[in-house]
């Protein structure tokens, strides 16, 4: 069944390391905007572009050891898999990356208390931190990533997605759009990220 306006999509985006297979993953949640007949390809393209734009917004502080893997697009409103696409973002910093358990953390907030999105960004270069604190240059790149992550995104084919959080809060299921985002200034540990295993 084609996607409908206000359907909620879950985007399971994998990150790869040059010497390994999938080493990390992040899940993005978006709401579908206005649709017309045969718009599924536009929606799929917008999902890919949105995640590539987000994870590719900080190439200067992501090691070239990391690049985009496959992304699964699931319509959780209709409980169907729409497609699986190849992401094309890639880090460009020539320095070695920090260990995969070390990540930058972006927090996006909604208007609902205790309802927020978290993105653990893997592959930050070793020169981007000093004693556990992100450098000014790394913060600038990561803040650019956060700006793309939380705001509505319109793909090149014209479809608009609204990022946010979906789930049950206080007994009510719904979708809550993001209203802001920030980067935590110190590095975080994503303990489930070990060699050969994502999150």
Q: How do strand 172-183 and strand 22-32 relate by DSSP bridges?
A: unpaired
> Which of the given ranges, 22-26, 91-95, 189-193, has the highest pLDDT on average?
91-95
86 token code pair: 């190849």
DSSP 98: P
pLDDT tens, 64-79?
A: 999 999 999 999 999 9
Q: Is residue 3 part of a domain?
A: no
Q: How far apart are CA 142 and CA 165, in angstroms?
A: 21
What total of structural domains would you count in the chain? 1
| Domain interval for residue 16 | 8-188
pTM, entire model: 0.91
Q: Is residue 194 part of a domain?
A: no
Q: What is the dihedral of CA 78, 80, 85, 88, to 10 degrees?
A: 40
pLDDT tens, 86-108?
A: 999 999 998 889 988 899 999 99
State the pLDDT confidence band at 149, using cuts at 50, 70 and 90. Answer: very high
pLDDT reading at 171 higher than 90: no
């Amino acid at each position: 069944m084609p996607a409908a306006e206000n359907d909620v999509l879950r985007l399971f985006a994998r990150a790869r390391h040059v010497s390994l297979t999938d080493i990390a993953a992040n899940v993005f949640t978006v709401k579908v905007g206005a649709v017309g007949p045969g718009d599924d390809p536009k929606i799929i393209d917008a999902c890919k572009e949105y995640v590539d734009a987000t994870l590719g917004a900080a190439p200067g502080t992501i090691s070239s050891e990391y690049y985009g893997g496959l992304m699964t697009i699931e319509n959780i409103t209709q409980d169907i898999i729409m497609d699986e696409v190849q992401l094309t973002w890639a880090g460009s910093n020539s320095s070695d990356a920090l260990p995969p358990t070390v990540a930058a953390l972006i927090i996006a907030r909604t208007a609902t208390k205790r309802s927020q999105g978290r993105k653990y960004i893997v592959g930050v270069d070793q020169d981007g931190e000093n004693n556990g604190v992100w450098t000014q240059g790394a913060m600038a790149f990561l803040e650019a990533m956060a700006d793309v992550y939380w705001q509505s995104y319109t793909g090149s084919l014209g479809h608009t997605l609204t990022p946010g959080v979906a789930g049950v809060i206080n007994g009510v299921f719904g979708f809550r759009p993001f209203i802001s985002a920030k980067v935590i200034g110190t590095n975080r540990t994503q303990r489930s990220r070990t060699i050969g295993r994502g999150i």
